Amino acid sequence: MKECSSCGFETEDKRFNYCPMCNLLLDTTKNKRTYTMGLSAEESHTAEIEMTYEEAKIVSRVLKELSKDCDGWCGNCWIDFEE
């Protein structure tokens, strides 16, 4: 989540670097928010988990590393995080 410290504009769109209202640089918020995570193999499960942006960034990186070398019938774990 990016937020303007001046006018309070918020966006999750990573393409925004500057506030469209006042043209100030947007800050990445460190507040906790809910991210959806899921597991899927023969069955699927999703859950909403509260974490900070930095925590979600680490989880996303770890899951990508685990998934890239996976062969065969491994399950899949994911998070709805985009940088």
Q: What is the pLDDT of residues 40-76, one digit of tens each?
A: 888 899 999 988 888 889 999 998 888 887 777 788 8
Amino acid 37 reads M
How much is the pLDDT for 58? Answer: 92
Q: Of 19, 26, 11, 18, which Cα lies nearest the Cα of 82?
A: 11
pTM above 0.85, yes or no: no
**pLDDT class of 8 with cuts at 50, 70, 90:** confident
Domain ranges of the chain: 1-30, 32-83
DSSP E strands in the chain: the ranges are: 2-3, 10-11, 27-28, 33-40, 44-51, 76-79
List, in order, residues 6 or more apart from 58 with CB less than 8 Å away: none
Q: Which of 1-15, 27-41, 48-62 tops mean pLDDT?
A: 48-62
